[in-house]
């Protein structure tokens, strides 16, 4: 079985400061990892993915994530947060070659002006 | 390019009534997913279609839920009869299909309230 843990229900950060949203996973074999963002009353929007290759992946809106196999983590990062980044962020994992991801519970990111 | 379209956006029904949700995926996307998202949770897969074939429906409560994708394009998810516990947001997503990218494109969802 595959699973995702997002240990923080909420992350608070000041605008301009770096942000990190944590994600750890469990899966059989190699993982496919994803981050999605959800704004109020909207569907999930794809941010970035790790399938293979470079452990540091870059995505939309200046976000990036680092795949760490030994720690089974895929933390989402951004060097300088914007108020408009405030949203709900979901990490998801699937086993390699699978099209069925398991999503975490989500982390609410609040960026204060 | 138009995104995934879902309707209705909101639905309020009494328990034991039927309800249906409609989804039109991104043009050319062969794979279609239906998810249920409960408050404070991530989406949970109900069913996945490859074209018109349901290839993963193990999480679909088949006693009351049904789905179809007759021509391999748009899809309908039905609940009959609805229960109080069915209150949730029902999300539809699509992706190009096997052998391509793995990310999914989500619609805005239908928020169902069962009273």
Out of A61-65, A106-110, B69-73, which region has the weakest mean confidence (pLDDT)?
B69-73
Closest partner CB to B102 (pick from A36, A51, A106): A51
State both tokens at B93.
Answer: 């997503």
Rounded CA-CA distance A73/A33 in Å is: 9
pLDDT at A108 over 70: yes
CB contact under 8 A, B102 and A99: yes
Rounded to the nearest integer, the mean pLDDT of chain B is 93
pLDDT score of B98 more than 80: no
Q: Which residues contact A106 (CB under 8 A, 6 or more apart)?
A: A6, A38, A88, A89, A90, B40, B41, B42
Better-scored residue on pLDDT, B55 or B83: B83
Which residue in B has a C-alpha nearest to residue A108's C-alpha? B40
Q: What is the pLDDT of residues B53-82, one digit of tens each?
A: 998 898 999 999 999 998 889 999 999 999
């Amino acid at each position: 079985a595959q699973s995702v843990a997002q240990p923080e229900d909420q992350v608070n950060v000041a605008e301009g400061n770096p942000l990190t949203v944590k994600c750890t996973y469990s899966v059989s074999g190699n993982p496919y990892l994803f981050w999605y963002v959800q704004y109020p009353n909207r569907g999930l929007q794809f941010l970035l993915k790790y399938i293979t290759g470079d452990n540091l992946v870059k995505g939309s809106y200046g976000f990036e994530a680092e795949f760490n196999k030994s720690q089974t983590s895929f933390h989402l990062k951004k060097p300088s947060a914007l108020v408009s980044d405030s949203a709900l962020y979901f990490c998801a994992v699937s086993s390699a070659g699978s099209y069925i991801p398991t999503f975490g519970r989500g982390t609410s990111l609040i960026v204060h002006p | 390019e138009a995104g995934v379209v879902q309707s209705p956006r909101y639905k309020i029904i009494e328990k034991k009534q039927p309800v249906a949700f409609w989804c039109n995926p991104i043009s050319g996307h062969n794979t279609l997913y239906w998810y249920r998202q409960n408050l404070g949770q991530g989406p949970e897969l109900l069913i996945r279609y490859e074209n018109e074939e349901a290839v993963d429906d193990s999480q679909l409560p088949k006693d009351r839920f049904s789905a179809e994708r007759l021509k391999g394009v748009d899809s309908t998810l039905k609940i009959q009869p609805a229960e109080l516990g069915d209150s949730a947001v029902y999300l539809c997503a699509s992706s190009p299909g096997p052998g391509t990218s793995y990310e999914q494109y989500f619609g805005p969802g239908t928020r169902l309230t069962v009273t």
